[in-house]
Amino acid sequence: MRRAVCPGSFDPVTNGHLDIIGRASRLFDEVIIGVLINQSKTGLFTIEERLEMLREATAPYENVRVASFHGLLVDFCRAQGAAVVVKGLRAVSDFDYELQMAQMNIGLSGVETLFMPTNPLYSFLSSSLVKDVVKWGGDASSYLPDNVLARLVGRLKQN
C-alpha cells in the first residue's frame, strides 16, 4: 500500500491545504493528515478542534484519515507505515525551509518528501492570513471550507 503523510498545524485548515490533500489522495492509496502537537505554541483552535474540522472537511475523500502527533515527523511516518511526506509549496521562500527539512528527514529515516506546487488560486494563502482577514471583518469564504469559516468567525467574536 502506498501511504503518505501531509503534516502541518492546520490552525485552521484552508482550501489551500485541502487542494494539496485532495491531489495527494489521487496519488496514494492512503493519505494521513498529521496534525502537529506543538506544546511551545498556543493555537487559536485546540488540537481536538483541528482534528474535527479536518475530518469534516476531508470526509469526501475515502482514503484520507486524520491523526495528531508530537515529536519527530519521521517517527510519526514510521508508526503510520508511510514512506512519503507530501508538502505544498507556495513560493520559493517555502522551498528553502522545506528542502532542509526534507534532507534531514531522508537522512534520519529514509522518508522521502514530495513537493507539490500550490494551485495558483491559493499561492498567497496561509492560516494566519485568513485569521487576520476574518478578525478585521473581511470575507474569507473563498479560502476556507464552510465548517471552518463558521468556527473561525465564532471564535474570533469571542476574543
Domains and CATH numbers, the chain: 3-123 (3.40.50.620)
- Rounded to an integer, what distance in angstroms lies between the CA atom of residue 46 and that of residue 24? 25
Please tell me which residue in 90, 109, 135, 155 is annotated as part of the active site. Answer: 90
* Annotated binding-site positions for ATP: 9-10, 17, 88-90, 98, 122-128
Q: What is the pLDDT of residue 40?
A: 80
Asked if 88 and 60 touch (Cβ cutoff 8 Å), the reply is no
Please say if the pLDDT value at position 139 is more than 70.
yes
Active site annotation includes 70: no
Q: Is 61 helix (H, G, I), strand (E, B) or coil?
A: coil
Of the candidate ranges 33-42, 68-77, 128-137, 138-147, the one whose mean pLDDT is the lowest: 33-42
| Residues of each annotated binding site for substrate | 9, 41, 73, 87
- 141 noted as active-site residue: no
90 burial (CB, 10 Å; 0-12 / 13-18 / 19+) is middle
**Residue 63 is placed in which grid cell?**
482514503
Mean pLDDT of 15-35: 98
Split at pLDDT 50, 70, 90, the class of 159 is: low
pLDDT of residue 16: 97
What are the angstrom distances between the C-alpha of 2 and each of 7, 76, 80, 121?
16, 16, 11, 28
pTM: 0.94
**How many percent of the chain have pLDDT more than 70?**
99
Cite the annotated binding site by residue number.
9-10, 17, 41, 73, 87-90, 98, 122-128
